[in-house]
Every structure is written in C-alpha cells, then in structure tokens.
Amino acid sequence: MTTINKYISSIILTLSFSSAHATTIYEQNYDPTIFGAYYADQGQHLYDDFTITTNASVNSLTFWGTYWIDGIAPNPANFDITIGDSPSNIDNIFSATATPTITDTGFDHNGQPGANILEFNITFNTVIQLAANTQYFLGIYSNDNNPTNRFEWIRSNQTGTLYSNGNPSELGNTSFRLSSTSTNVPEPTTTVLMGLGFAGLGYARRRKAQA
C-alpha cells in the first residue's frame, strides 16, 4: 500500500469511529462491605426515593441484588421497573418490564458463600425525562415468582427512606444508578470528509494501476 493509501485509510478509520458514552445522573452507592438486602418480590414492592439537582434525561439503570439462597439468577430474569412522583402514584413517570444483563461482582451477600451479589444493567428503549428538585420513587420488582430462590435488593451505604408497598419503612436505602447513555456518531461534515477520503483512495489506486 502506498503512503497516500495508508494516510487516507487512517483518516477514514478515525472519522468513522463511534463510541458509547454513559453519564451518571444519580447514584446510591453499592458497597460490598455493607451487609443487608431487602426482598423485592412475592408481593413485597419496594420504592426508593431520590432527587436530582438538574433536569436530566435517563435511559439506563444499574442496580445490585442477590438471589437467596443460592445466588443463581433465573434465565431470563424479569423485572418490573417503575418511576413515579409519589408513593401512591409510583408508575406515572415510567413503567416497563425488562430483562437485564447480569454480571457477578465476585462478592457474597453477608459473607454467605454462594449468595453472589450480582450487578443488573438495563438500557431502556425510551428516554425518561426527570425534573430538577423533584422527589421521585424508583421501584424494582422481580416477577419471576420463585419461592425458593427469592430476589433481594442490596442496601446502599447512604441513609434514607425506603417505601414498602407504598408506606415508609424502617429499611435503609438501596443501591442503584441512573445514567444517560449516548452514542457518538460522525457529524455531517465528517461524513463529507469520509466521502472525499474514499474518492481519494480510489483515485490513488487507479494511478497505481496505470503506473
């Protein structure tokens, strides 16, 4: 390949590259040293309140949990995800049933071997618009209905109020992260440059063939 071919190919590869970028909008930290988790299944609906400081768009959720007692997630694992603006109106902002991707964190719940702490990641098909200084309530509920291997939502190291079936409880905060995930794609000017690059590459090859 000639020097000009290599140069043009390098430009094309650079300009055509796209990447995903995630921005954390709100997070209640997961800490493997904090013991405790709360059932979020079998009729036990949990809603954790949160407030953001600026208007934001959210399309990704990460949370941490385990399956008691063997730590093995069902395949697939199905969850009802809701966001509302009051304990009595817990799904007026967003509601969906989702199957997350699951990663083993390598930690055990409460030091119990086999009770693996798992990370659950969901990217939604729609963008959720959240307003600044508004109290919201996130609900995560496992609807797999397995009485011998129940889902537990892992605690956070932050304090706060957790709502159980719409009522404030003495339970502490849970661990989750809300993010905005976007993909960087070439701009129109970049597309034009790519076209010129391809044209130049074709011209260089024709000249080489004529030489």
Same domain, 110 and 193: no
Q: Could you read off the pLDDT of 75-128 as tens digits, one per residue?
A: 999 999 999 999 889 999 999 999 999 999 988 877 776 678 999 999 999 999
Beta strand 37-39 pairing with 150-154: antiparallel
Same domain, 2 and 28: no
pLDDT at 2: 55
pLDDT at 139: 97
Same domain, 106 and 176: yes
- Buried b / exposed e over 126-147, threshold 16 CB at 10 Å, is eebebeeeeebbbbbbbebeee
Q: What share of the chain in percent tops pLDDT 90?
A: 54
Q: Could you read off the pLDDT of 144-191 as tens digits, one per residue?
A: 988 888 999 999 988 888 999 989 987 889 999 999 986 555 555 544
Q: Is 62 helix (H, G, I), strand (E, B) or coil?
A: strand
Same domain, 136 and 191: no
Six-digit token pair at 110?
């409460």
Same domain, 172 and 74: yes
Amino acid type, 38: Y
Q: Could you read off the pLDDT of 27-83 as tens digits, one per residue?
A: 998 888 888 889 999 999 999 999 999 999 999 999 999 998 777 899 999 999 999
pLDDT at 188: 54
pLDDT at 21 over 50: yes
**Mean pLDDT computed over every residue of the chain:** 82
pLDDT at 137: 97
Domain holding 175: CATH number? 2.60.120
Same domain, 28 and 83: yes
Same domain, 13 and 90: no
pLDDT at 208 over 80: no
Amino acid type, 172: G
Total number of domains constituting the chain? 2
d(CA 62, CA 39): 17
pLDDT at 158: 86
Q: Is 100 helix (H, G, I), strand (E, B) or coil?
A: coil
Same domain, 177 and 190: no
> Are 152 and 37 contacting, i.e. CB atoms less than 8 angstroms apart?
yes
pLDDT at 192: 44
Residue 11 binned pLDDT confidence (cut-offs 50, 70, 90): very low
Same domain, 169 and 113: yes
Same domain, 179 and 189: no
Same domain, 11 and 53: no
Same domain, 103 and 173: yes
118 - beta bridge partners?
65, 104
Structural domain of 157: 21-184
What is the helix, strand, coil percentage profile of the chain, to 5? Answer: 20, 45, 35
